[in-house]
Amino acid sequence: MITDAIVQLFRDALPKGRVTDDQELVRPWTNDWRGKYHGDCAAILSPRSVEEVAAIVGLAAEHCVPLVPQGGNTSMVGGATPPADGTALILSLRAMNAIRSLDPSANLIVCEAGVILQNLHEAAEAAGRRFPLSLGARGAATVGGLISTNAGGTQVLRHGTMRAQVEGLEAVLPDGSILHGLSALKKDNRGYDLRHLLIGAEGTIGIVTAASLRLVPAVTARSVAWAGVGSPEQALALLRHMEAALGDAVEGFEVMSDEILTVVLSEVPGARRPIAGTAPWHVLIEAVTSDPAKDDRHGNQMEDALAGAFQQGKLLDATIANSEGQAEALWKLRESVSASEKAKGPAMQYDISVPVTSMPAFMIDAKRACEAEFPGATAESYGHLGDGNIHFHVRPPRDPSDRGAAWVASEGETVSRFVNDLVVAAGGSISAEHGIGQMKVAELARLASPARLHAMRAIKTAFDPQGIMNPGKLVPLAT
Ligand code: MLT
Ligand code: ZN
């Protein structure tokens, strides 16, 4: 347990105001976004500089105090939730929210870990640039969390995951030493790439405190369209058609089943069905240009490409947003899926990838297999088809008494094994973009190869021999 004396140690070592033990303020940060994990925590530590983080981690190492790093607490896998037994302190990076520098000519921005993604977008835009990664939680998710989970989002198709955006990193290692690596070196062959080791490490081998991030030219024109298609296979054919017609202007290509769209429409006030006819599957397409000379032709090119797709039987119906307001309304449908699904009640959620070409068949086959295996349950998918990554949700049989909570509690583990076995059989990954957190540790232990488990445990132990960095997350303990 964390005693008052331990909390006092941190209070003594830090400037005033860095330690919060008022449980009214602590408690909201001890639950995860999905509402599946409930932690207990004596205090939140809120450093304002990398030196303060180093002091905290050094003290934690000296007294063997486990730390749970936290940014916006938007993890989908319980990655930032402290343990329920109260044995860890939360290390919040939210107060480290400065943009240290922005160099438009170098296309670089240096952000501290607590910078909120939305603020990063706005800073880049104000300088005539763009940060090319976005996701629904951008109003709360922070740079440190995005890096520590190697976040994806809706522009990976063209710009890659967070890993592709990080040009340099500053971090505090588990012994309290500071790794200074913010200079954006194009070439650096000093052996092990510590930057890439820390990206996606979920705070288990160090604390990311700041990063140099890549910027790209601002968008000068965009067109956003919604298409109804007959199947995931037709959706993938449509993506390839759009890429052939528009090249790398295609940035967003998001798919969802009609059942998922219906859930969103029932939850989002004022939301409307984008196309008149019925379609079993839907696709949101965004194409952008950063070349003002191409602005005038941009919308027409989207229209021509969609018309060609229609003639070739690659879509059922489509509409193009003719204002920014309409474009935003289409994106709102997509970005409201998680919250709408959550509002529908307990369910089992999977974030999976298989090779892109296998994904359309996987989506149909996995749904059929799940619904046959668990009578009354329904399985739906949505997400980033062009990345071979979908979010696959299994909803309990209808039960008005508890909205399916009892089913999730009794069957959830069996469902997870069933779905994850399908993923592994298809050569896929049980976590495409959300990470492992605490939600998937047991399944990672069951399904990862001995080589992967050995390497992960060896890295964890080498960096963090006391096991104080985000314990219980990502790395399965040796049995
Ligand atoms: C998304 O694509 O909407 C996010 O990854 C969150 C989710 O799983 O719903
Ligand atoms: Zn996603």
**Residue-level pLDDT at 211:** 98
Residue 48 pLDDT > 90? yes
Q: Distance between CA atoms of 91 and 70, rounded to whole angstroms?
A: 6
Q: Is the CB of 388 under 6 A from ligand 1?
A: no
Distance from Cα 292 to the centre of ligand 1, integer Å: 32
* Residue 301: per-residue pLDDT: 94
User: What residue ranges do the domains of the chain occupy?
Assistant: 4-92, 99-217, 221-337, 345-425
Closest residue by Cα to residue 474 from 36, 80, 141: 80
Give the confidence band of 38 by pLDDT, cuts at 50, 70, 90: very high
- In short, whether 138's Cβ falls inside 6 Å of ligand 1 is no
Q: Is the pLDDT of residue 58 over 90?
A: yes
Mean pLDDT score of the chain, rounded to an integer?
97
| Ligand 1 site, residue 386, Cβ cutoff 6 A | no
Kindly state if the Cβ of 383 falls inside 6 Å of ligand 1. yes
Q: Which helix (H) or strand (E) holds 55?
A: helix 50-63
List the CATH code of the domain at 345-425.
3.30.70.2740
- What is residue 112's predicted lDDT score, i.e. its pLDDT? 99
Spacing, Cα 478 to ligand 1 middle (Å): 31
> What is the 85 CA–ligand 1 centroid distance (Å)?
29
CA torsion sign, 187 to 54 to 213 to 104?
negative
Predicted confidence at residue 179, as pLDDT, reads 98
Assess whether the C-beta atom of 76 lies below 6 angstroms from ligand 1.
yes
Predicted pLDDT of residue 1: 85
Per residue in 449-468, pLDDT tens?
999 999 999 999 999 999 99
Q: Is 72 in the pocket of ligand 1 (CB under 6 A)?
A: no
How is 268-336 classified by DSSP, letter by letter? STT---SSSS--SEEEEEEEEE--GGGHHHHHHHHHHHHHHHHHTTS-SEEEE--SHHHHHHHHHHHHT
Once rounded to an integer, what is the mean pLDDT over residues 196-218? 98
Q: How far is CA 196 from CA 74, 149, 170, 191, 442, in A?
A: 22, 12, 12, 12, 24
Mutate to test the pocket of ligand 1, among 337, 348, 385, 434 (most ligand atoms within 8 A of CB): 337
- Residue 391 Cβ < 6 Å to ligand 1: yes
Q: What is the pLDDT of residue 277?
A: 86
Res. 157 pLDDT band, cuts 50 70 90: very high
Residue 402 predicted with pLDDT over 90:
no
Bridge-based pairing of strands 221-229 and 317-320 is antiparallel
Share of the chain above pLDDT 90, in %: 96
Pairing of strands 67-70, 89-92: parallel
Q: What is the C-alpha separation between 88 and 183, in angstroms, rounded?
A: 33
CATH fold, domain 99-217, is: 3.30.465
Strand (E) or helix (H) holding 218:
none
Residues 104-129, mean pLDDT to the nearest whole number: 98
Q: Is 238 in the pocket of ligand 1 (CB under 6 A)?
A: no
CATH of domain 4-92: 3.30.43.10
Q: pLDDT for 276-329, tens place per residue?
A: 989 999 999 999 999 888 888 887 999 999 999 999 999 999 999 999 999 999
Average pLDDT over residues 362-368: 98
- The per-residue pLDDT for 400 is 78
Residue with tokens 């941190």: 10
Q: Starting from the CA of residue 331, give the closest ligand.
A: 1
Residue 403 has pLDDT above 90, yes or no: no
Contacting residues for 284 by C-beta, under 8 A, at least 6 apart: 224, 225, 226, 252, 253, 254, 255, 256, 330, 331, 333, 334
Q: How many angstroms does the Cα of residue 394 sit away from the middle of ligand 1?
A: 15
Q: Which residue has the tokens 């859930």?
A: 263
How far is ligand 1, taken at its centre, from the CA of residue 8, in Å? Answer: 39
- Nearest residue CA, atom 9 of ligand 1? 338
Distance CA 423, CA 438 (A): 19
Residue with the smallest CA separation from ligand 1 atom 5 is 153
221-337 carries CATH number 3.30.70.2190? yes
Report CA(141)–ligand 1 centroid distance (Å): 13
Q: Sign of dihedral through CA atoms 348, 332, 278, 384?
A: negative
Q: Say whether pLDDT at 131 is over 90.
A: yes
- Nearest ligand (C-alpha, residue 389): 2
| Neighbour count for residue 290 (Cβ, 10 Å) | 16
Please check whether the two domains, 99-217 and 221-337, share a CATH topology: no
- Per-residue confidence at 66, pLDDT binned at 50, 70, 90? very high
| Amino acid residing at 210 | A
pLDDT of residue 274: 97
CB of residue 246 inside a 6 A radius of ligand 1: no
d(CA 474, CA 456): 9
| pLDDT for 401 | 83
CA of 246 to the centre of ligand 1 (A): 26
* Rounded CA separation 435/338 (Å): 16
144-164: average pLDDT: 98
Using the predicted structure, report yes or no on whether residue 116 has a pLDDT greater than 90: yes
| DSSP state letters, 135-171 | -TTTTT-BHHHHHHTT---S-HHHH--HHHHEEEEEE
Q: Are 103 and 128 in contact (CB under 8 A)?
A: no
Mutate which of 34, 135, 264 to test ligand 1's pocket (most atoms within 8 Å of Cβ)?
135
